[in-house]
Chain A
Amino acid sequence: MSKKLNIDDSIREKLDGFSAAPPSHVWDSIQSQLDGQRKKRRRVYAGWISAAAVVVLAFIAGWYFSGKTVIEEPTMAEQQPAPEKTQEPAVLPQDKGIEIEVDQLAGAQDINTTDTKTNKTISETRMLAEGERAVDQNESETEQFIATRSAESYSLLERIEAIFAANQSNVSLVEKSNETKIEERFTADEMLIAANLRNLNEQKQQEHGWIIGAQVSPGYSSHSASHNDSYAQNMTYESDNGGSNIGGGISVQYKTGKRLRVESGIYYAKDGQKADNSFNLFASDKDMLYGAAPDAAYDGMNTGFSNLVQTGRSEGGIAMNSTAGVIEMKSTPRGANISANLENSNDVTAQRLYSDGEFSQVFEFVEVPLYLRYSVLDKKIGVELLGGINAGFVIGNNAYLDNSYGVQNIGSTADISTLNFSGTLGVGVNYALGKHFSFALEPRLNYYLSSINSNPDVNYRPYRIGFYTGVYYEF
């Protein structure tokens, strides 16, 4: 036995002080690895900055496009009638009144303020997250240290250190002093172990994680609508014409597993029906004279509306039944005339509004989605299915008349509910642009589940097909 111990001792003596010069490439690789880590740390910051840039860009794009679509309206109106001059009066560009621009500006500002608020909240959250991350980062540098180590390793650590500490100071192992040392190290080890455990948890969570995204969506919106008879009788003609528009927003996804994600965010959509929901009645202002002067030639070139309206209401203004609900005008729009029903002089309450041009009812929504995403293919090119519901808050409700005086904001639609719910279904195709970024194209169908108009006579449900194009940043 003692011989064995002697052998152990002599081996220990021989090996304990043993040193050998490591090859020089070891230091080179250490250096390059340390440099790499510095760069990596920089990349992490760069990542956060780019993520912030995505958010900012999204909002700039949002402003730009939301402003643009409204401004584009006259252009679109101008373009559409061009080939079919038989139906529409030519709209002169210089006629586009200043008041529209004011309206639009006001509209844009609304969005503007909402966006800034959101932006602020998000950037605050981001900063918080970044703070946390910085801490984590720090920790993660300690982490892999003695990875997978658990409580039982104290003993090893204590013991090894005790031995070497004792060796170094050439002091025989006085139990007392040794004990204190062990205690001190115990706390140091504890910290390391705690860091390790945190790291382990973090690694486990790598399947979990956050993704933020920003999308701009050109889309087509239309509606399904039905009205009860009494409403329909006095209604402007209903058209199924849809409109094109642009929406967009930012999203936050949380990975709950390898394939499943929960998404929320905030989107702006003008998927309210910027529908030209009124129809030409082939009526011209000469209709007013028609009965009196039957010889007057019917002027198909100057068609316009001849709609039943209600005036003399206690609330004031002029009410006109339209597809999405009753348009309440404050006053007679420019370029329109209002008159008593010429066919029936007994009917003093029914009145007619004559105007060329088109009426439209436009609703702007801020939608807060709750989607589930399922990743069908998770490769460089990925495919996802998504579905869920949105809480859609109506933030803009305007009615326009687009006639030779330009696009006028003539009022708003009555009885529109502020909060509505819609369902969304979509397919996403994304392309990874590196470790963190991906580019995505997601056609989505968004359909309001119930009428956004609380008037029982009107059932009006807008829908929208949007091609959500954007970038995602995965942390």
Chain B
Amino acid sequence: MEDLKKIINGCASGNKRAQEQLYQLFAPKMFGVCLRYAKDSTEAEDNLQEGFIKVFQNIGRFRHEGSLEGWIRRIMVNVSLEKFRKQHVMHPVEDVSIYEGQNVSDDILAGISAKELIAVIQQLPPRYRMVFNLFVIEGMNHQEISEEMKITVGTSKSNLARARDILKRRVKELYGDIEKTSNYTAG
């Protein structure tokens, strides 16, 4: 913990070694965060890079009483959201009503790796991906998401539902061989 404080102070004064240490310490986890919000790993790398630049630029303002990981993670999420806002302001949302009504059991989820799950999340339409991440992983409520993304609460709710549906369908499609059921139709 003392070491971390040292690293933070080193970063604040622009020490290259400290910066590298901090990066090594948090980059893998933050890359995981960025991957969830990005459409592919290239975008995630970009966001990670941008996020860390911001971390190094602003670390002088970090207050030691808070969680550093939480602080860095917040920056990563913000960078990802910012990019989403820039790229998908008017992004049309595909009609996914056809995906509704799929059932996926916990077993299937248990059977797939986080990496595989992230690959599926990345394929979600951008807005669904954002809403899904914010709600399920960051634990925001719909009111907060609607404010954050400038959408209505209703849209947030339906986006989440559809994200879930698509996710389930995809998971089932890709990894659900064991559970192939007769009631699945592609529409």
Contacts and interface: CB of A to CB of B under 8 A. Distances in A.
Interface of A: 4, 6-8, 10-12, 14-23, 25-27, 29-31, 33-34, 37-38, 141-142, 144-149, 152-153, 155-157, 159-161, 163-165, 168-169, 181, 184-185, 188, 191-192
Contact of A181 (B16, B66, B104, B117): B66
B106 A6 contact: yes
Nearest to B68: A168
With a 10 A CB-CB cut-off, give which of A30, A33, A141, A157 has the most chain B CB atoms.
A30
Contact of B45 (A23, A156, A185): A23
Chain B at the A interface: mostly helix, strand, loop or mixed? helix
A159 B32 contact: no
A458 B21 CA distance: 82
Contacts of B49: 26, 29-30, 33
Contacts of B74: 157, 160-161
With a 10 A CB-CB cut-off, give which of B35, B44, B73, B78 has the most chain A CB atoms.
B78
Given A160-B138, A188-B61, A4 B164 contact: yes
Contacts of A16: 137
Given A10-B110, A22-B45, A188-B61, A27 B23 contact: yes
Nearest to B57: A141
Given A11-B109, A34-B19, A160-B70, A147 B82 contact: yes
A168 B118 contact: no
A161 B71 contact: yes
Contacts of A38: 14
A11 to B, nearest CB: 6
Interface string B63-82: 10111011101110110001
Contact of A7 (B35, B109, B134): B109
Given A15-B118, A22-B31, A7 B104 contact: yes
A161 B109 contact: no
Interface stretch (B2-10, B92-100, B140-148, B176-184): B140-148
A19 B32 contact: yes
A135 to B, nearest CB: 14
A111 B56 CA distance: 51
Interface in B115-147: 115, 117-118, 134-140, 143-144, 147
Contacts of A192: 58, 61
A165 B139 CA distance: 13
A22 B114 CA distance: 16
B28 A161 contact: no
A31 B77 contact: no
Nearest to B140: A159
Contacts of A188: 61, 63, 66
A149 B27 CA distance: 24
Contact of A145 (B36, B58, B138, B148): B58
B48 interface: yes
B127 to A, nearest CB: 16
B70 A168 contact: yes
B91 interface: no
Given A29-B49, A142-B61, A145-B54, A15 B148 contact: no
B174 interface: no
Nearest to A149: B78
A20 B32 contact: yes
A12 B33 CA distance: 12
Contact of B66 (A25, A156, A185): A185
B88 interface: no
Interface residues of B, number: 58
Interface of B: 14, 16, 19-20, 23, 27-29, 31-32, 35-36, 44-45, 48-49, 52-54, 56-58, 61, 63, 65-67, 69-71, 73-75, 77-78, 82, 85, 104, 106, 109-110, 114-115, 117-118, 134-140, 143-144, 147-148, 164, 168
Contacts of B143: 155
21 contacts: A10-B106, A11-B136, A14-B109, A14-B117, A18-B32, A18-B114, A20-B32, A21-B31, A22-B31, A23-B45, A26-B45, A26-B48, A142-B57, A145-B57, A148-B85, A149-B78, A163-B138, A165-B66, A165-B67, A169-B67, A188-B61
B16 to A, nearest CB: 7
B117 A11 contact: yes
B130 to A, nearest CB: 11
Contacts of A144: 54
A33 B28 contact: no
A336 to B, nearest CB: 74
Given A15-B137, A168-B67, 13 more contacts: A4-B164, A12-B136, A12-B137, A14-B117, A18-B118, A20-B115, A22-B48, A26-B49, A30-B52, A147-B82, A153-B147, A157-B74, A160-B140
A233 B174 CA distance: 111
Contacts of A17: 29
A29 B115 CA distance: 25
Contacts of B63: 184, 188
A29 B49 CA distance: 7
Contacts of B118: 15, 18
Nearest to A14: B114
B66 A141 contact: no
The list of the 5 closest CB pairs from A to B, nearest first, reads: A164-B70, A19-B28, A152-B147, A18-B32, A22-B31
Given A14-B109, A149-B78, A20 B28 contact: yes
A34 B53 contact: yes
Nearest to A19: B28
A152 B109 CA distance: 34
B109 A184 contact: no
B45 A155 contact: no
With a 10 A CB-CB cut-off, give which of B44, B54, B63 has the most chain A CB atoms.
B54
Nearest to B136: A8
A31 B45 contact: no
Contact of A15 (B78, B117, B147): B117
